Amino acid sequence: MQKVYLDSAATTQVRAEVIEKMQEALATFYGNPSSTHSFGRSAKTQIEKARKTIAKRLNASPSEIIFTSGGTEADNMILRCAVRDLEIKHIITSKIEHHAVLHTVEQLEEEYGVKVSYVKLNECGAPSLEDLETLLKENSEKTLVSLMHVNNEIGNMIDIDAFADKCKEYNALFHSDSVQSIGHWEWDVQKTKVDFLTAAAHKFHGPKGIGFAFIRKNIPLKQLIHGGSQERGFRAGTEPFHNIVGLEEAFIQAYDHLDEERTYVTELKEYFMKELSNAMPGVKYNGNCADNEKSTYTLVNACLPLSADKGALLLFQLDIKGIACSKGSACQSGSAAGSHVLTEILNEEDSQRPSVRFSFSKYNTKEELDYVVACLKEFANS
């Protein structure tokens, strides 16, 4: 039995270079970064170096980068602080956002009475820029728009510049959950007029438990976590220094090798879809994931031509074969709830079939993909 990991959209294998840097940090820079002695100053210097590294690549100011425990905290922090501190009365989002956004927005609606609007989606799950403009025109209250750059389930990408420009046209703030994007796509926050971005290191071969928020300067948010003056007074708590060092190294490696790794992974994705389509006629690709102009190169979400009963056993059978991937199904099969993303875009017939997300990385090979396709074909014919 082979072991094949095709779940990199959930989390990625940590690069060897990152592990080495983190081990060095744990052994060498063990002072508290808030301490004023040399041990603390050495650790603090490394944190600020990481902040500058990230800011330079994003074309941001170091003061605009705030380290967090990951994307979920960053999304929560930005949305909650925006409502609390900026008197946001209206949030526009979509029904296929990550739950870190959707559940937070639901709480804000309940706690603060914020009006929530959901931008219309086309049949592939792409948010409508025209409908966003309609919603912005209809509302005169202070508004925050929250739309993810790359959808984590179906891979759809929005035209981030167009959406950012539209928000600016109507004086709305724009937050984008970019957890599936940063580390895989280039960013220039001087060109792309977003106000807030979020990132998580474990999505681009870094450690879990660390990420960052980009908060554009002169937006007067106040701290959400109280206690100390860390992160320029914005986020209290002793910094997880080793994780920040790991985040920096993963970030450096991701962008130093971005072109070659994107080319390689794109070829893997296209090869997988070709082989899967040949092996299982009738397979469909959800959202825009089959179109590399409208989706990320890192994943494909396939609706397989299998019955609901057979689909209920699919992930179990793949796991037995050593294959890791993620199930996304609009029907409630093997879980308490189906995928809220697929529920929005699949028709009744396709919602009864198993949909599986296969996500790729630099560590995958075509030989592994051949094995996965062979296992899927064997299961379909059994």
Task: Pull the structure tokens for residue 75.
Answer: 């999304």
Residues 101, 93 contacting (CB under 8 angstroms): yes
Q: What does the alpha-carbon distance between residue 132 and residue 298 come to, in Å, rounded to a whole number?
A: 27
Mean pLDDT, range 325-330, rounded to an integer:
71
Q: What does the alpha-carbon distance between residue 374 and residue 356 come to, in Å, rounded to a whole number?
A: 16
Residues 153, 94 contacting (CB under 8 angstroms): no
Within 10 A of 32 (CB to CB), how many other CB atoms are there?
Answer: 14
Output phi, psi for 194, to 5 deg. Answer: -75, 150
pLDDT at res. 133: 97
335 pLDDT higher than 80: no
What is the chain's length?
A: 382
Mean pLDDT, range 260-276, rounded to an integer:
98
Q: Which residues contact 278 (CB under 8 A, 6 or more apart)?
A: none
Q: Which residues contact 378 (CB under 8 A, 6 or more apart)?
A: none
Q: Pick the closest to residue 212 from 170, 173, 243, 166 (CA basis).
A: 243
pLDDT band at 333 (very low <50, low <70, confident <90, very high): very low
Residues 43, 50 contacting (CB under 8 angstroms): no
Within 10 A of 53 (CB to CB), how many other CB atoms are there?
Answer: 18
Q: Pick the closest to residue 159 from 259, 57, 288 (CA basis).
A: 288
pLDDT band at 99 (very low <50, low <70, confident <90, very high): very high
pLDDT at res. 328: 63
Output phi, psi for 56, to 5 deg. Answer: -60, -45
Across the chain, mean pLDDT equals 94
CA dist list (Å): 72 to 144, 209, 245, 308, 332: 18, 10, 20, 32, 25
pTM of the predicted structure, to 2 decimals = 0.94
pLDDT at res. 336: 53
HSE (side-chain half, CA atoms, 13 Å) at 123: 3
Q: Is 227 left (phi over 0), alpha (psi -120 to 50) or beta?
A: left
Angle subtended at Cα 266 by Cα 7 and Cα 2, rounded to the nearest 5 degrees = 40
Domains parsed from the chain with CATH numbers:
16-256 (3.40.640.10), 258-381 (3.90.1150.10)
pLDDT at res. 334: 46
Instruction: Provide Rg for the chain, Cα atoms.
Output: 21
Task: Pull the structure tokens for residue 272.
Answer: 């997988």
pLDDT in tens, 12-70: 999 999 999 999 999 998 899 999 999 999 999 999 999 999 999 999 999 999 999 99
Verify whether residue 331 is a known catalytic residue. yes
* Among 289, 325, 331, 375, the one annotated catalytic: 331
pLDDT at res. 151: 97
Q: Pick the closest to residue 359 from 212, 158, 203, 159 (CA basis).
A: 203
Residues 159, 189 contacting (CB under 8 angstroms): no
pLDDT in tens, 132-143: 999 999 988 999
pLDDT at res. 232: 84
